[in-house]
Structure 1
Amino acid sequence: MKLNHITKAITLSLLSLSAAAVADEKKLEVIEVKGTYFNDYKVDDASGAMRGNTSLLETAQSVTVIPETIIYEQLATTLGEVLINDASLSPGSKQRNREVFNSRGFALSSSNGYLRDGHQHWSHYQQPIETLSRVEVIKGPSSVLYGQSAPGGLVNMVTKKPTSSSLLDISADADQNGSTRFMLDAGGNLIENLNYRGVLVKQDVVYDREYANGENRERDRFLGYLAVDYAVTDDLIVNVYYDQTDDKAGLDTGAWLNSNGDVIGDKEYIYDFSWAFTDIRVNNLGTKIDYHLNNDWQMTFGYNEQTFERQRFESAPRKPSDYAVGDSYESRPYDRFDDWQFKTMYFDVKGEFNTGSIRHNLLVGANSLDYYYGQLRVKAASVDYTPGNTEPTRPDISYKTDDTLYTSEYDFYGIYLQDLITFNDTWQVSLGGRFDKQNKEGADNESFVPKVGVLYHPVSDATVYVSYAEGFEPQSSETLNDETDKNHGMKLDAVTSEQLELGLKWQVSDRLMIDTAVFDIEKSGVLVRETLIDDPNFETITTQAGLQRHKGFEASAQGAVTDTLFVMASTMYLDAQYERDSNYEGKTPVDAPKWSASLWSRYEMTEKLALNAGLIYQGERFADADNTITKDAYYRIDLGATFSTLIGGQDTDFRFNIENALDEDYLAGGGVNNVTIGDARTARFEVRVSL
């Protein structure tokens, strides 16, 4: 590990926290805030952690909320560019025009690691973040409210809502490579009691990396989003929304590493052929109905139907184990069509009531998921290719000629209860539980998970909490099906996870939120297969004895240090390893660094000019499960500036960003045959007009 990288990252993160503390000590002497101060970095509540807009000080769980202001300042175009603002998330592979992330060292699944406005959201593609008002990172097992999910937590994407006031923003941005993005964001009142919000995006991306024929990889994306709110009465509001994403891009399955962790050959070389592509269409259609029974009780119904269709025409290059520059490698082309359909629904009843002097904030609800997947696939003959030769022509195949259809279906539903009990100004207890049932041929499963948290408020703007939560992920089948295994026919229970977390949250003078947490997560029930040597009747014995344990510490600061300096900073230490596993016992999972840090800041020089500076740090990580190949630690410095003025009487912002300003050479997520090359220094310019 490069010690200077760690030192710089930790020092900058701690300086942010120290500056916040110093600012607070000074603030104790001067309570009144003067001038044009407006804090748009700090967020006081989150909707996903407790299924309602609950104060972070009353949430016995670590939650990070990344607001729209920061998304805009960073000119983010992908969810990955947003999530780098939380050090608890580390990037994984970006192959095939999608992004993979780890939370507290555990991979987030495409099927159950992401939420959109509280609905499970299929996320096998780059999310349309232009529709988002903020992103919430919910850390630790969260099955109690959402069902099956990984131990590391969930990412909840909160969409932009209709507005009653008129809104019309038009923007265009471009970078030095020729990439462009045009966006329209509009909202307002259509007729009495009917408000809307609409977003249109057209984006074309040109990447640095090149195919064997010298062409750069490109991407073409369109996004349309429309949401309307209709106030039927003062107590009944109906929301309906629809969005569509069309995204076509050349394929890049990543660079290849040698045994020393170095990239083999040119870092800009793409092993896929130029005719390989992925083409997707994603549609979301849904509704949300809110009905206020009275001032204390509310019912909410939500339904979302997501269809995801993708054609993936692959050249599918294979990395030889001893590959060196100039060697030939095999490609196995195929054409594939995938059809995913997610139908989700929930019904919540929320209310407040007293039992004597004790206050209850109660949630009772149920949610469900209906999942369908279908696949058509046609293969072509494999080809051997030697770099420098003419690229092979695209094979004449089509998935449409496949007369078979592979399908997979399941559904689950769960009922849950949660009660935030307030005894007095000092003590609160959060209790919750969920019963969940999955219906899947050969893999039926039932689970119950609890959650409990105790919150202590030594003063009104601080919380010390301890919480315990469980999660679960059903196995792919009900029983072990292997006649050569001694435990053939054994019933398989769901993989479970447990987390114990101790945290402190401190809202400093209503300006800055400081959050620290110590966590210990265990994932158990993973299948462990051992070879039998002395048993003539069986080859292996499989048990559910696997155990994976991740322990760590997080610290963050978000908000205003002074009237003109704003920060979002975080750091995490992580000790992750397989404690019981037949293959990887004592090893660390891929892309789980011990140290990571992030910082984004804004300094307002004048009312019109603001400067930004940011840091991303990732410590050493393993690129393979055997822990024989290491990727070096790296840090990345980003800079930016915004100048606001009036042109023709219209508010106009000019924004200029430089990503990786020091042109650091680094490897991001991914393994030995799909590693992501960090982007070189990139300049991006945007003009935004508010009409």
Structure 2
Amino acid sequence: MSFRIGTSALALAVGLIGAAPVMAQSTAQDQVSASEVDSGDGEGEQIIVTGRAQKLYRVEQTSAGKLPTEPLLSSQNIAVITQELIQDQGARDAQDIYRNISGVSFFSYAGVTARGFRQEEIFFDGLRGDPYAGFAVPQLFNLERVEFLKGPAGMLYGPGAPGGLFNYVTKKPDASAFKAELRGIVGNADRYGGSGEVNAPLGSGFTARGGLFYEDRGLFRFNASSRTLIADGGLAFDPGPVKIILQATQYDQELDANRLRGVPTDNAGNFLASRRWNHNEPSDFLNLNSTVFQGRIEAEPLAGLKIDATLRYNDATEVQQYHEPRGLFDSNRDGIVDATTREFRDQRRDEESWSMGANAVYGFAISQTVSNRVLLGFDHYTGKEVFAGRSLRGRTAPATGLPGPLSLLNPVYGQSNPATYNLGPFSVTSTDSRRTGFYVLDELTVGPLILVGGIRRDSFRDNANGIVFEDEKTTYRAGAVYRITDEISLFGQYATSFEPQDPSAQNPLAGGPFAPTAGDIIEGGIKTALMGGRIQSSLSAYRIRRENLLQADSRGDFGNDGVDDFTTFGEVTSKGIEFDLAADITPNWVLTVAYAYNNTRVTGDNGGGGITNRVGNRFANAPQHQLGFWTRYQIPSLGLAAAFGGDYVAEQLSLSGQRVQPYMIFDASLIYETGPIRAMLRVDNLFDKTYAVSGFIDRTGHFPGEPRSVFLEIGYRF
């Protein structure tokens, strides 16, 4: 498994069925689930064996649907990446875990392609407000798990893309026991770092948790490196029946020679430069500083009634100076493109947001075979972003006070000094956003049949440099589960979503304001957990339709006001099939296999084109096929486990229509665990394959996958 941006389908059964590879240390509890049951005839005991595929890296309930539900009883597809899986893979940031979610692949930075649609928004603990402003990639140190709710989620979360939604669940104080752990890591490319965490019940209902993470590593692109510091703490007070949780987190990240674009390619997808090529100077940087405070109240005032409310504040600043590739050219006129002009960009993003949300869940039995649960909730978000930027474009030849060109084949850094550039004043834009939603969801269980229905009403307002747009929208969800047996269930759902047009596109001179895009999904399938969970599978088919897409008006400047017009006539349809399997080949050997097929096409437009991310009739970075496998064998007597995985991603197209070649990469790890000590030796991109994970525009190229890398991580638990 490649840890940076490599695989997108390893251990994929974790997604829909919550399974993943086994841990190295074997105990009797791992192999026996309950079980000593008196047979009543005096002839001995009955042992019920639970499969490792069911036990390991599997959550008993998912929360992204806001009604805690067992995966087998849910009408939704929710992928869950647990803390154990994050640690077992040595994952550090969000790009490291995309491979674990079928139907999700890398697009750029923290953005993904989800079931054919580009998706970038991230929720934390069910609320809007991403502390990673702009182009920083979320880190995983302070996360308990990552949940990805597949398909439109408008009824539960409000505005969002129809392909799915990430919800990052943060670590919180745990009153059950004292826990502490120290970890250190060393690797190639001058990689080193460490972390420490402690969780301590303090008595009288108080529990405290604290964590500190630091890592310094050289990135494989020329001049690029990363330094990340996260300080995280929490205090919980649980006298019962009310629980109060206070949290504070500080994020500091310094990325040298960033922001990183891709490496230029030809139309066949072959790199025109080394995969290590970097358009940035050594003095370029991207620095993030972000502070988060969060408070949460949980209560159970009555039997069957649970209430929670969360308030979150986020203040983030991202500052960056970088050289953007602006145009490829032939520097010596030999017919071969061998250099690029560059543009220097000096940017600052300040984001401040408040998020709040509350939920009440009431469950009750109507009869022995009929029960009901009702969810009532609301959420509110206000955010302000101030962007200040200035830029200066260079030429094909060095010139005083301008950014110089850079060779693709023999780049020489240090000849362009931003301190000498003739930069003008900053251009400042300010955007204020507000989102408010109220929703109700009902779940009725009648014997083996579960019926779910919900409705939500949203209001939203955007103010971009004085251009104001506000509107309201209603979204719906309906689902059903039929449990054929305790091990097999059929499921189906219909859900809708919407997403406001970009505030910058609401200019009345261009035909604005424009109504939001609209999306819906029809999905159905079968889930199993056979032989006590030793064989788990999920098969689903879906159709997602996205309408009201903003695109260029074929009539041009229809209003004769000097600004070309837009129109919101457009439709895109995504169809797909996902199959996941996790199986115990033996008590010590686990295999997971996953396959995803997706076909996303333009199914309606006005002839004017211009639909975002459209490449002809296809869409950028939307592979039609993904296949991943992960197998792990452990030797309990030695405390050892060996793992091997592979990931295949089919051909893609870049935003400029250039081919992104298919790739297959392999990874391996060796884990030793005994008592409180755990050590992992990890090799990513085992055969050092050169490949691209996704494509951008032709002047910036494709994002290269990481070369072979090795690291050793050692941890000690107290």
TM-score by length of 1: 0.87
The aligned counterpart of 2:671 is 642
Q: Write out aligned runs for 1:505-520 (5 A).
A: 505-508=527-530, 509-520=532-543
Is residue 410–residue 438 contact of structure 1 (8 Å, CA) maintained in 2? yes
Which whole-Å CA distance do the structure 1 matches of 2:323 and 2:616 have between them? 36
Q: Which amino acid aligns with 2:479?
A: G
Change in 2 beyond 3 A, CA 1:534/1:668: closer
Deviation string, structure 1 residues 249-294 (Cα, Å, up to 9, x no partner): 1212221112221111222111111111100011211011001012
- Inter-partner Cα distance in structure 1 for 2:539 and 2:199: 38
For the 8 Å contact 2:50–2:534, the answer to whether it is kept is no
Structure 2 partner of 1:613: 644
Task: Specify the alignment match of 1:271 in structure 2.
Answer: 279
1:31-89 CA-to-partner distances (Å, cap 9, x unmatched) read 722999992233332111x2142211221111111222221111111111112112311
Q: Which amino acid letter does the alignment assign opposite residue 502 of structure 1?
A: G
Match of 2:494 among 455, 463, 468: 468
Is residue 688 of structure 2 the alignment partner of residue 663 of structure 1?
yes
Partner of 2:517: 495
| Mapped pair 1:383 → 2:403 | yes
- Letter of the structure 1 residue corresponding to residue 631 of structure 2: S
How far does residue 335 in structure 1 lie from its aligned partner after superposition?
A: 1.9
2:245 and 2:297 in contact (8 A); partners too: yes
**Which whole-Å deviations, capped at 9, do the CAs of 1:406-463 have from their partners, x for residues lacking one?**
2110111000011111122x11110011000002232102100010011111112322
Q: Which secondary structure state, in structure 2, belongs to the residue aligned with residue 84 of structure 1?
A: helix
CA contact (8 A) 2:10 2:647 kept: no
Partners of 1:86 and 1:598 within 8 A in 2? no
Equivalences for residues 116-155 of structure 1 within 5 A? 116-122=124-130, 123=132, 124=134, 125-155=136-166
Report the Cα distance in structure 1 between the residues aligned to 2:60 and 2:330, rounded to whole angstroms: 53
* Runs of at least 5 residues in structure 1 that lack an aligned partner in the other structure: 1-8, 21-26, 211-215
**Is the 8 Å Cα contact of residues 360 and 419 (structure 1) preserved in structure 2?**
yes
Within 1, Cα distance between the matches of 2:502 and 2:229?
35
Is the 1:619–1:634 Cα contact (8 Å) retained in structure 2?
yes
2:633 counterpart of 1:595: no
Structure 1 counterpart of 2:261, one-letter code: T
Deviation at 1:613, TM superposition (A): 1.6
Is 1:245 matched up with 2:251?
yes
Report the TM-score, using the length of structure 2 for normalisation.
0.84
Partners of 2:50 and 2:556 in 1: how far apart? 77
Distance 1:493 1:330, change over 3 A: same
Is the CA contact (8 Å cut-off) linking 1:245 and 1:281 kept in structure 2?
yes
Q: Secondary structure at the match of 2:376?
A: strand
Q: Secondary structure at the match of 1:80?
A: helix
The answer on whether the counterparts of 2:329 and 2:337 sit within 8 Å (CA) in structure 1 is no
Report what 1:209 is aligned to: 221
Deviation string 1:451-505 (CA, Å, 9 cap, x unpaired) is: 001111111232211110000001235996465x7xx46x521101010001211
Q: Structure 1 vs Structure 2: percent identity of aligned residues? A: 19
Counterpart CA distance in 2 for 1:90 and 1:407 is 32
The alpha carbon displacement at 1:527 in A equals: 2.1
* CA RMSD after TM alignment: 3.1
CA distance in 2, matches of 1:534, 1:302: 47
Contact 1:620/1:632 (<8 A) preserved: yes
Aligned position for 2:360: 349
Instruction: Flag the 1:475–1:389 CA change in 2: closer, same or farther, 3 A.
Output: closer
Q: Structure 1 residue 176: deviation in Å?
A: 1.8
Which of 210, 218, 221 is residue 225 of structure 2 equivalent to?
218
Equivalent residue letter for 1:93: S
Structure 2 counterpart of 1:234:
240
Which residue does 2:43 correspond to in 1? none
- Corresponding residue of 1:24: none
Amino acid at match of 1:410: S
Unaligned runs of 5+ in 2: 1-7, 20-32, 34-45, 393-400
What's the offset of the Cα at 1:351? 0.8
* Residue 682 (1) aligns with residue 703 (2): no
In the other structure, the counterpart of 1:5 is none
Residue 485 of structure 2 corresponds to 459
1:329 to 340, 343, 365: 340
Give SS of 1:315's match.
strand
Correspondence list, 1:520-669, <5 A: 520-532=543-555, 542-558=566-582, 560-581=584-605, 582-583=608-609, 584=614, 587-607=617-637, 608-625=639-656, 627=657, 629-646=658-675, 651-669=676-694
Note if contact 2:10-2:646 (Cα within 8 Å) is conserved in structure 1: no
The counterpart of 1:438, out of the listed 445, 460, 471, is: 460
* Native 8 Å contact 2:640 2:671 kept in 1: yes
Q: Is the 8 A contact 2:634 2:642 kept in 1?
A: yes
Say if 2:475 is the partner of 1:449.
yes
Residues 37 and 564, structure 1, Cα contact 8 Å, conserved in 2: no
| Aligned with residue 311 of structure 2, among 300, 303, 306 | 303
538-547 or 445-454: which moved more?
Answer: 538-547
- Alignment partners' CA distance in 1, 2:554 and 2:245: 57
Q: Structure 1 residues 389 and 364, CA, compared in 2 at 3 Å: closer, same or farther? A: closer
Query: Which residue identity does 1:636 align to in structure 2?
Result: I
What amino acid is the match of 1:107? R
For 1:127 and 1:612, the matched residues in 2 are separated by 26
52, 60, 82: which is aligned to 1:67? 82
Relative distance call for 1:31 and 1:552 in structure 2 (3 A) is: farther
Mapped contact 1:90–1:105 kept (Cα < 8 A):
no
Matching residue's letter, 1:580: G
Structure 2 CA distance, aligned partners of 1:68 and 1:147? Answer: 27
Summarize deviations over 1:148-205 as a string: whole Å, max 9, x none: 0101011111222212311111111121222112011211212331112222111001
**Contact kept in structure 2, 1:105 and 1:589, CA below 8 Å:** yes
Counterpart position of 1:427: 449
Q: Which amino acid aligns with 2:483?
A: H
Q: Of 67, 87, 104, which aligns to 2:115?
A: 104
User: Is this contact kept in 2: 1:369–1:411, CA < 8 A?
Assistant: yes
Q: Offset at 1:399?
A: 13
From the superposition, tell whether residues 571 and 428 of structure 1 become closer, same or farther in structure 2 (CA, over 3 Å): same
What SS does the aligned partner of 2:293 have?
Answer: strand
Alignment of 1:152-167 (within 5 A): 152-164=163-175, 165-167=177-179
1:535, distance to aligned residue in structure 2 (A): 8.7
Q: Secondary structure at the match of 2:643?
A: strand
Q: Following the alignment from structure 1 to structure 2, what is the Cα–Cα distance between the partners of residues 13 and 364?
A: 33
1:548 alignment partner AA? V
User: CA shift at 1:384, angstroms?
Assistant: 3.0
* Partner SS for 2:155: helix
Distance in 2, Cα, partners of 1:585 & 1:622: 7
Q: How many residues align?
A: 647
2:105 partner letter: S
> Contact (CA 8 Å) 2:379, 2:436: kept in 1 or not?
yes
Q: 1:397 to 1:411 in 2, by over 3 A?
A: farther
Distance 1:330 1:229, change over 3 A: same
* CA 398–69 in structure 1, closer or farther in 2 if over 3 Å, else same: farther
Q: Is the 8 A contact 2:183 2:713 kept in 1?
A: yes
- CA distance in structure 2 between the partners assigned to 1:64 and 1:316 by the alignment: 36
SS of equivalent to 2:141: helix
Q: Is the 8 A contact 1:117 1:159 kept in 2?
A: yes
- Structure 2 Cα separation of the partners of residues 317 and 365 of structure 1: 47
